[in-house]
Amino acid sequence: MSATLDMLQISPQVDAAEHSPATTVEAVLVRAVLEGDRDGFGKLYGLYAPLVHGILLARVPRAEVDDLVQDIFLHAFKKLHTLRDAAAFGPWIAMIARNRAVDFHRRSRETVEINDDLRGSDTHESRATEILELIRNLPEAYRETLVLRLVEGMTGPEIAARTGLTAASVRVNLHRGMKLLRERLGFMEGL
Amino acid sequence: MNEDYLWDKSGQPDPQIQELEEIMGTLRYQPRPLVIPRNLVVSRRRTYFPLLAIAATVLLALLAAGVWVQVRKSSKSQPQQAKVPPAVQGTTPSPDVAVKDSMPANKPAKKESTVASNVRRRHNTSAIRQREREEAFAVKEQLMLALRVASEKLNLAHRKSQSTTPANQIKNQHRIG
């Protein structure tokens, strides 16, 4: 099994669309985990943690994101046997992350994120938090795609392959989202 | 805006997007090891198909058995319904019914009501059925007669109307003209 994984050359930049569903890295890893290989899940975590992080960052307070990422992967580990198509691990865990974000807002009381002045961090990070807040106020369809592109540094095709969205909708979401973001950034000083 | 750069980072870089990437990159995911507790075990894949198939088969068998029992019950209960009139006759003996049932005249009515056998029941039901058949036939005859009369009347009315229509038409034409 490990030889097969080495042959597939696991890297975060792997494009799932280039492989047939039965031989994608995700499919091989999922099958390995179901057969008892716990390390295989660590590799899946390495591949998909940025995606889950980006999805959560677009929806929940930043301070909660890291813990939620861990929770989601532990939940996914327990429920991995319910995943019917092993190659669809990305869209599956993305859906878990979205649902968890909805649950988070349903269960938690209204929270206020700590202001950057209080945090006293560098200007780059405070700017980033401001822009993130602007992105969070954009229509839902654009938030996730923009965060994955600008924060996590994924390309459009990677976003499409990992989330299970079509390349066309990712392209449209990126283009329209960026246009709206530019309009809103026009009101800010600096950029 | 350079769409290619936004899409797959190809082509000429867009300075605004690059600046955004640089700023937003500070929020990027920082790798953390995932600690899976030892007691946490991934569940085995379960296939529910055989269980479902067995459950469906059992359900179908139960349904079929239920239907069969119902049919059996209904077929048994039909003669019992026919048993009711003789019991009533036994309590209030009527000479007409006794004659129609073709029972011996010298037999006491009380004994008739207590003694119940399948032969007698069948006999009674056949007699009732025959009577019903006769009544139905009489009703049918009456209905047929009524239909024939109605049909004749309709024919007559039709003939009358046909014989008057041309004259009326001419009359109307004359009036119009």
From the first residue on, what is the mean pLDDT of each consecutive set of 10 residues in chain A (191 residues)?
44 46 79 89 94 95 93 93 90 95 83 53 80 93 94 95 93 94 74 48
Task: Answer whether A127 touches B (CB < 8 Å).
Answer: yes
Question: Does A54 sit within 8 Å of B7, measured CB to CB?
Answer: no
Paired tokens of B58: 């059992």
DSSP B11: S
Q: Do A41 and B36 count as a contact with CB atoms less than 8 A apart?
A: yes
B8 lies within 8 A of chain A by CB: yes
B122-161 pLDDT per residue, tens? 556 777 788 888 999 999 999 999 999 999 999 888 888 7
Residues of chain A in contact with residue B34, where contact means CB-CB under 8 angstroms, are 41-42, 45, 49, 70, 73-74
What pLDDT is stored for residue B149 in this prediction? 92
Write the residue in B6, B8, B42 that is nearest to A178 by C-beta.
B6
Mutation target among A155, A158, A169, A189 for the B interface, most CBs of B within 10 A = A155
SS3 A104: helix
Residues 6+ apart with CB under 8 A from B105: B98, B99
Reported pTM: 0.58
Using a CB–CB cutoff of 8 Å, tell me whether B31 touches chain A: yes
Asked if pLDDT for residue B26 goes beyond 90, the answer is: yes
Could you tell me if A70 lies within 8 Å of chain B, comparing CB atoms? yes
Q: Is the ipTM of this complex over 0.85?
A: no
Q: What is the Cα B49 distance to its own chain's centre?
A: 31
Q: What is the pLDDT of residue B117?
A: 54
Name the E strands within chain A: none
CB contact under 8 A, A151 and B16: no
Output the CA torsion sign for A22, A25, A28, A29. negative
Separation of alpha carbons B118 and A77, rounded Å: 73
Distance CA A68, CA B98 (A): 92
d(CA B100, CA B45): 76
Query: What is the set of domains in chain A, with CATH numbers?
Result: 2-185 (1.10.1740.10)
How confident is the model over B115-123, as a mean pLDDT?
55
